Amino acid sequence: MNIIITEWALQSYSDLVGGAYFTPQDYWQKLRPDVEKLKNFPHDPFFSVNNFWGPATGRGGIHVVGGYKMKWHNIGAGSVQLRLSVAILSNNAYLCRAYVKTSDAQDKREAAKLKDHIQDIRSGRYQLRGSIQ
C-alpha cells in the first residue's frame, strides 16, 4: 500500500510539534514505525489490535466508509492520547489529520472532518505533500 501525506496531515503534525505534544524521539521510535505499518495493511497483525487501529465512527456509532484511525496512548511528556485519521482508498493510505483526543465528542467531530476529507480526496481536492516509501 502507498502511504500519502496530505496537507492536512502535514499541518496537524506541525501544530502538534509546535505544541510539544511529542518529542522527536517519540516520532522516530514509535509514531513513524507504526505509520509505516500501513505499507502492509491489512496484513500486519497490529491492524487487529483495537487499542492501535480502528474504524473512524461518527455520531450514532456510524462508521466512516474508508475512514480509520491509528491510536497511541500516553505519548509525550503530557501522556496524551494521540490519533491519526487515515483514509484507505484503492491501494493508498492517505494520512489526513493527527490530533490529541480530549473527549469522545471531539473524536466524533474528527470523524466528520475525515468524512469530508475522504470526499475531497475522491474529488481530487487535496494537496499532496509527500509519501512514505
Q: All domains of the chain, ordered by start, with CATH? A: 2-132 (3.30.2310.20)
Q: What is the pLDDT of residue 23?
A: 86
Give the model's pLDDT for residue 78: 82
Single pTM value for the model? 0.95
In this prediction, residue 127 carries a pLDDT of 98
The pLDDT value recorded for residue 66 is: 98
Cα 129 to Cα 64, 80, 113, 132: the distances in Å are 24, 26, 19, 10
pLDDT of residue 50: 94
Cα 90 from chain centre: 17
Residues of the chain with pLDDT under 70: none
